[in-house]
């Protein structure tokens, strides 16, 4: 399959080159041209001829090879008004193509014809020499064009990276996507990021991958090197160094230093790939590779700084949330721990629905804050032991609007407000505060609605005991597609044991620990296996 792809690529390159040659020759000669591959004798499909021009005479493979052997233009009369011109086209000293075209004929006696042929052959020879020289100059500037193309690839990779990830998001996810882009743009076997004790590695071919412990050891050896040049190290003869003796699989590497607010580290690429031969050996790193790698290291460092500041803001939000939920729990001891349980249940539902980690983060915080508006509900209504009157029910229903009003003045948490305002909407449109239905209800609110209902039904209340799981399941099935989103009810049924376990454990953990566990637990298992990615503190081998 690889051989077929390489053959197809070579054929495509030949055709593209032939089209460019045909365009130049037709512009100079003023007539249509056909090109033949000397090796195969086949006429190339270049679609270069003007449909209004005189058709070009075809030739046999033997004629094409004979012209190539002569290495000079061959002009012969083909009619009273035209000559047939065979043009051997050289590339790197070899004649790979032969062009066939018709040239206008003005001489009609033998002597004039011979003189005209000589002039045409000389003119065509000069034209072909000029074409060959231009091609060689183009090859000499191929490295510049390749670097330009590589720079464009970096810009495209940056665009994809910034569109698909958040600069303030989790570092490991951002690094995973950044390292994947590095392997594709630079053409390397592995890309490694080591910052402090955190290690990330992407290896498209798992056979080239180092272990996390080996990555840390490699970073330690790089720290001992004294030949860094402005934060860049290029080593194309690794076998002759200490690194090569410890890691014989590494044949070449390039590294750049990363400096973040809290710690420093390295962005490393190993084993430059020869793209033309598809081999992991033989190719060497250039200074241009290091420059492009430095661009990625700058982006990773910037993201680390942004994520660090965002974490400070998130810690503030978590602290605020703890205070607010504690205040609510103090007003109603029967609902103590309810907000935390709902948040953790909502995260489990989100996992069952295959939502990304960053959305689970938002769901968790929205779950914590979903009942914050109850702080504005009168105590005699919130803590009433009996059934509520219509007026009392309308008053307690105001907690979603009160909560939304409390939180809407805070910046940076807009994505949480829908869960607070709409978690009592019902799928058939009979909920509150606005009577939204179906897909109109924000997804986060539909998830919190199921988690909230499960915890409420399974908890003890002054006027009734908590329902057993079987009773809760029956109610959910009856309300599927009516009160609750059917897909989320189905997700509940698939993970009901996990939710019941959360319900039985109660509060147990601090909010910060619960947040980390809910969002990040098993995140490595959820990553795309094809990236062969891992990020964690490595353990020393036994």
Q: Which residues of the chain form CATH 3.30.450.270?
A: 154-306
Contact assessment for residue 85 and residue 75, using Cβ atoms and an 8 Å cutoff:
yes
Segments in 370-485 forming alpha helices (H) = 379-382, 390-397, 399-407, 414-422, 443-458, 469-479
* pLDDT at residue number 195: 85
- What mean pLDDT comes out for the span 339-350? 92
* pLDDT at residue number 155: 52
- What mean pLDDT comes out for the span 376-398? 86
Contact assessment for residue 349 and residue 491, using Cβ atoms and an 8 Å cutoff:
yes
Topology of the domain comprising 154-306 = Beta-Lactamase (3.30.450)
What confidence tier does 419 reach under pLDDT thresholds 50, 70, 90?
very high
* pLDDT at residue number 466: 79
* pTM for this predicted structure: 0.45
- For the stretch 87-145, pLDDT in tens is 888 876 678 888 898 888 888 788 888 888 888 888 888 888 877 776 655 554 444 55
* pLDDT at residue number 166: 52
Choose the CATH number for 337-506 among 3.30.70.120, 1.10.3210.10, 1.10.10.10, 2.60.40.10. 1.10.3210.10
Q: How far apart are alpha carbons 103 and 117 in whole angstroms?
A: 10
Q: How remote is the C-alpha of 185 from its chain's centroid?
A: 12
* pLDDT at residue number 492: 94
Closest CA to 176 of 445, 542, 539, 530: 530
Q: How far apart are alpha carbons 438 and 427 in whole angstroms?
A: 5
Contact assessment for residue 179 and residue 200, using Cβ atoms and an 8 Å cutoff:
yes
One-letter-per-residue 3-state SS of 277-321: CCECCCCCCCHHHHHHHHHHHHHHHHHHHHHHHHHHHHHHHHHHH
Q: How far apart are alpha carbons 514 and 522 in whole angstroms?
A: 14
Q: How far apart are alpha carbons 316 and 482 in whole angstroms?
A: 38
- For the stretch 433-491, pLDDT in tens is 999 999 999 999 999 999 999 998 988 776 677 788 899 999 999 999 999 999 999 99
For residue 200, what are the β-bridge partners? 193, 535
Q: How far apart are alpha carbons 11 and 300 in whole angstroms?
A: 40
Task: For the domain covering 2-140, report its CATH number.
Answer: 3.30.450
pLDDT surpassing 90 at residue 314: no
**What is the phi/psi pair of residue 309, to 5°?**
-70, -40
Percent of the chain with pLDDT over 70: 71
Q: What is the dihedral of CA 19, 20, 24, 27, to 10 degrees?
A: 50
Q: How far is CA 494 from CA 353, 423, 489, 524, in A?
A: 10, 21, 9, 22
* Cis peptide bond prior to 358, omega within 30° of 0: no
Helices (H) and strands (E) in the chain, counts: 20, 10
- For the stretch 167-183, pLDDT in tens is 455 667 777 778 888 88
Q: Among 159-168, 340-349, 480-489, which stretch is predicted with the lowest mean pLDDT?
A: 159-168
* pLDDT at residue number 14: 58
Residues constituting the chain: 542
Pairing relation of β-strands 188-195 and 264-272? antiparallel
One-letter-per-residue 3-state SS of 124-163: HHHHHHHHHHHHHHHHHCHHHHHHHHHHHHHHHHHHHHHH
- For the stretch 318-328, pLDDT in tens is 676 667 777 77
Residue predicted with more confidence, 57 or 524: 57
Q: How far apart are alpha carbons 463 and 371 in whole angstroms?
A: 20
pLDDT surpassing 60 at residue 521: no
Q: How far apart are alpha carbons 339 and 323 in whole angstroms?
A: 12
Q: How far apart are alpha carbons 318 and 519 in whole angstroms?
A: 14
- For the stretch 281-290, pLDDT in tens is 557 888 878 8
Contact assessment for residue 180 and residue 198, using Cβ atoms and an 8 Å cutoff:
no
**What is the phi/psi pair of residue 33, to 5°?**
-140, 145
pLDDT surpassing 70 at residue 227: yes
Q: Which residues of the chain form CATH 1.10.3210.10?
A: 337-506
- What mean pLDDT comes out for the span 153-170? 53
């Amino acid at each position: 399959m690889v051989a077929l792809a390489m053959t197809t690529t070579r054929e495509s390159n030949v055709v593209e080159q032939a089209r460019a040659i045909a365009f130049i020759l037709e512009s100079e000669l003023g007539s249509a041209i056909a090109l033949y591959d000397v090796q195969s004798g086949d006429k190339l499909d270049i679609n270069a001829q003007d449909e209004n021009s005189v058709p070009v005479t075809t030739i046999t493979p033997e004629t094409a090879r004979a012209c190539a052997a002569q290495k000079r233009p061959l002009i012969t009369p083909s009619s009273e008004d035209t000559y047939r011109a065979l043009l051997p086209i050289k590339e790197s000293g070899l004649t790979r193509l032969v062009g066939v075209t018709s040239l206008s004929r003005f001489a009609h006696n033998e002597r004039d014809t011979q003189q005209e042929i000589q002039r045409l052959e000389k003119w065509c020879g000069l034209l072909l020499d000029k074409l060959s020289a231009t091609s060689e100059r183009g090859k000499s500037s191929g490295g510049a064009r390749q670097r330009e193309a590589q720079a464009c690839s970096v810009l495209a990779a940056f665009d994809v990276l910034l569109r698909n990830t958040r600069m303030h998001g989790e570092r490991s996810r951002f690094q995973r996507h950044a390292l994947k882009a590095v392997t594709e743009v630079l053409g390397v076997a592995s890309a490694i990021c080591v910052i402090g004790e955190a290690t990330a590695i992407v290896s498209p071919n798992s056979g080239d991958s180092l272990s996390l412990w080996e990555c840390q050891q490699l970073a330690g050896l790089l720290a001992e090197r004294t030949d860094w040049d402005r934060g860049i190290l290029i080593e194309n003869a690794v076998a002759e160094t200490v690194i090569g003796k410890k890691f014989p699989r590494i044949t070449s590497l390039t590294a750049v230093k990363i400096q973040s607010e809290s710690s420093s580290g390295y962005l490393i690429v190993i084993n430059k790939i020869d793209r033309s031969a598809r081999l992991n050996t033989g190719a060497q790193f250039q200074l241009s590779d290091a420059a492009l790698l430095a661009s990625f290291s700058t982006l990773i460092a910037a993201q680390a700084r942004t994520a660090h500041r965002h974490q400070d803001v998130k810690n503030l939000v978590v602290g605020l949330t703890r205070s607010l939920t504690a205040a609510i729990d103090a007003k109603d001891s029967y609902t103590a721990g309810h907000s935390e349980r709902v948040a953790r249940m909502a995260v489990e539902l989100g996992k069952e629905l295959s939502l990304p980690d960053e959305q689970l983060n938002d769901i968790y915080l929205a779950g914590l804050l979903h009942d914050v508006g109850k702080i504005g509900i009168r105590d005699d209504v919130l803590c009433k032991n009996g059934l509520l009157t219509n007026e009392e029910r309308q008053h307690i229903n105001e907690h979603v609007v009160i909560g939304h009003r409390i939180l809407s003045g805070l910046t940076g948490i807009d994505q949480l407000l829908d869960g607070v305002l709409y978690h009592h909407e019902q799928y058939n449109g009979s909920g509150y505060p606005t009577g939204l239905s179906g897909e109109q209800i924000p997804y986060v609110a539909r998830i919190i609605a199921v988690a909230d209902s499960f915890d409420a039904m399974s908890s003890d209340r002054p006027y009734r005991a908590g329902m057993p799981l079987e009773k809760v399941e029956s109610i959910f099935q009856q309300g599927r597609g009516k009160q609750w989103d059917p897909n989320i009810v189905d997700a509940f049924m698939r993970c009901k044991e996990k939710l019941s376990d959360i319900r039985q454990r109660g509060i147990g953990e601090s909010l910060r620990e619960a947040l980390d566990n809910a969002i990040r637990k098993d995140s490595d298992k959820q990553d795309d296996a094809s990236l062969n990615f891992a990020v964690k503190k490595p353990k020393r081998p036994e």
